[in-house]
Structure 1
Amino acid sequence: MNRNSHFRNLSLGVILVFFVLSASILTSAVFLGAEFFKIIFVCTAFLLFIVLALLLAGFFTVNTSLVNDRKSDKKNNGAFTRFFMNVALRVYMPFLLFVSDVFSYRKDEIRKVFIKANNKYVLSLDKKVLPEKLLVILPHCLQWSECAHRIREGLNECRQCCRCTLGKIKDLVRKFRVNIAIATGGTSARKAIKDLKPDLVVAVACERDLASGIIDVKKIPVYGIINKRPHGPCRDTWVNTEELEWALKHFLQKQE
């Protein structure tokens, strides 16, 4: 099954509901006798059709961005496209995430689409930053749950025993000289961003934490990488270090 099918199904369902409501109200306004109620219904229908147009624009903007391969982002790098994508990510997708939460409809699948569309947008910015202005945020659950050396700040305590992916990540941090923060949740992640004031964030987390974090951090681009959870949530998770390395290489300025 197409991985974006749940996103399309929910989008089309929401759009259809608004269309039916708009058409019903407009029809009622035409056939009701009282002019006062006609005006109310016509105005309401007009507003609903505006919302419907915004929903359609958001759906097509996000859906179109998902069609292209990651490496073709620069082809869609125009200011006009970026503007509509930014509006879709800030208005349409949070609304869709809210609907999926209310009805418990494929929440993680919708979040994955949001994260993927957000990453496409961040890549289209073609933003390059200095190592000291890039922050990598990692979830604490990446550490092996039975490790005797608990990591609380940074990776200095990591002994690189190869029981988890933090050892490889520690090598990447040394190689690229970027800032790193170990987050125990959304509050600590936001505090790290507030304290370090980065120009760009590469965040590793589950779908729920990434989606909420991207929405919360409005002024700083956040590139999200979903962690793997073979043992369930919040325990002995891991991340594709090759994808993390690719992201660091992409966003960092080339040093002379």
Structure 2
Amino acid sequence: MDIEKNLYGVIGFPANHSKSPLMQNAAMKDCDINAEYKAFEFAPDKLKKEISKLKQQHISGFNVTMPYKNQILDFLDEIDPMAKKLKSVNTVKRVGDKFIGTSTDGLGFWQTINNSPKNVILIGSGGAARAILAYKPENTNIRIFNRNSERFESHAQQIKSLFNINLEDLAEIDDALPNADLIINATNVGMRDDKSILTQADFNKVTKPAHVVDIIYRDNPTTFINFARQAGLSAENGLNMLIAQGALSFEVWFNKTAPIDLMTKMVKN
């Protein structure tokens, strides 16, 4: 008789495009873990209902992607100190009857950056941006920008309180561009359309051989990446970050070293 598999997954909006099931299911099979990993996509007004449903299904763990990394905190029983500080969770593990949240985003991101950049531009102030800030290399200087929306002031206060860094208006980014050697888009701009948080003219102001990372990943390059490449800059999407944080999530759930080479092969081939 088949033993029922333990359930894992990813929640987000969107989530059905996620490559996480490909790599996590392959990793579980490779490690002889009796589990399956699914994508759960639902609109923000359904979050409470869907989390309740997942609890009823006795889900053993799940990843959290945009736009729920902050909101998920309201539905957890425990949050590790760093995730609580960031107000951002991307990995949840069930221990007994408790949902326990942590974040593997920041560490996962920096594991994908080969050189230690000196001057970094980080665009965005949500969960992923905060995680990237929290794990930045010691000698790296980060300037963080976001569009001046209705949430700008509250985010600015939180960033200042957490990291003693001023959140700057994206409209004032010009003086930071020439000296940047790493530029990161940690917003969801361009996830579902051809918009870009920076213009072609912005990228043309970069004078150093900077590297550009858009943490969004999709089959076709985002406009952000295309603009960067047209300006002669190296650029990549968030696939390497997805793999690295996913491997760390795997290790949180199963206390086993993740088969990261296999996970990489599953999402890049």
Bigger-Rg structure (1/2): 1
Higher helix share: 1
Q: Which has the higher strand share?
A: 2
Q: What is the TM-score normalised by the length of structure 2?
A: 0.24
Normalising by the residue count of structure 1, what TM-score does the alignment of the two structures yield? 0.25
